Amino acid sequence: MSDNETREKRLVDLSPADGATLDDLLETRVGEGGLQAAAAPADQAERSQRIEGVLRLLGRYPVDPPPADLVDQTLARINESRQQHRFAQQISQLSAPTGRFGWYELGALAASLIIMVSLALPMLSHNREDARRIRGANNMSNTGVAFSSYAADHKGLLPRRRVRIGAPWYMVGEGIGPDGTATSNTQHPYLLITKRYIDPRVLRCPGNPTAQTHFEAGATDWNSHSATSFSYPVTRVLLRIDQSPSRILLVDKNPMFDIRRGQPLRFRSGVTVDTPSLMHGNRGQNILLNNGSVLWTTKPELRGDKLWMIRGVSNLTGTELPEPDDVFTGP
């Protein structure tokens, strides 16, 4: 049992009879400390005498008179206690988290967010481009299946409309010529759509924001050059699916040309034969080969042969045709 509990036990341990006697003695107190024992009831005389003796002992230990500045000392202690309490509250407020922001904290937070965003955006952009490249490669792979199906139905030949030597091959969206020949090289792979070998939405690259989304029945070509996503080989001979060595069937769009309906062939400013396709942020291009595989290359060439220009020709007019062993895709 603790000291406090013992003390409380002693304070409340007075018997009812002692308590009644003590009350009677206090009521009969006279003078400056004397007790009138005769006033106590007869049955409590002995008990009263013992309690009176205990009370007389209290007088043997006189209490010093209070100092003159007791009030001032008390007020000083109260003020000191208040100061200590106020100081403890300030320490608690400083150490506890606050829900308010000052301009300094707000500026630091804004700077941190700007740094985080600047670091994250290139990564997100890079991941987004990778996703588009993979989707584009998947579309190419599915187009390779369509090429194989077409070739199986056409004695191994790849799609090709009737052409006229010396006719232009860049007039995308202007339709078949008056003599029934193709006026655009893009009309050849479009046969996969007109003959229902492929869903036209597959012949699109996710990296082309202006790719055509609506295809009319009976159409023979894409609506415009900007609506196309892939380039098909320009040749003077018929191509076969089983041709060896591996030949290009499709490649991400040739960036060299800026073709507009009714206008002569134009070259895009700032683009060279070494510039990657624009479909993937100039990082490279997907290439579909006649064996069905899809390659990703950072340089626009195959076995050292440039893809964007005819070998030995520096300024195309849009009617030239490459040699059979020359790899040229466009527009």
pLDDT of residue 84: 76
Class of residue 232 by CB neighbours under 10 A (exposed 0-12, middle 13-18, buried 19+): buried
Per-residue model confidence as pLDDT tens digits over 32-90: 444 444 455 566 677 777 777 777 766 666 666 777 777 777 777 777 777 777 767 76
The ranges assigned to domains in the chain are 3-59, 129-306
Which of 3-12, 34-43, 257-266 tops mean pLDDT? 257-266
pLDDT of residue 248: 93
pLDDT of residue 32: 44
For residue 105, give the H/E element and its range: helix 103-153
Per-residue model confidence as pLDDT tens digits over 168-214: 999 999 999 999 999 999 999 999 999 999 999 999 999 999 999 89
Distance CA 290, CA 145 (A): 10
Identify how many contiguous H helices and E strands the chain contains and give both numbers: 6, 8
pLDDT of residue 126: 63
pLDDT of residue 4: 54
pLDDT of residue 181: 94
Of 122-126, 153-157, 279-283, 321-325, least confident by mean pLDDT is 122-126
Is the pLDDT assigned to residue 155 strictly greater than 90?
Answer: yes
Quote the DSSP letter at residue 34: E
Token reading at 81 = 């206690």
Token reading at 39 = 């006033």
pLDDT of residue 69: 74
Quote the DSSP letter at residue 56: H
Higher-pLDDT residue of 58 and 132 is 132
- Give CA torsion, residues 260, 265, 271, 272, to 10 deg: 160
Quote the DSSP letter at residue 249: E
Distance CA 250, CA 258 (A): 19
Distance CA 125, CA 129 (A): 6
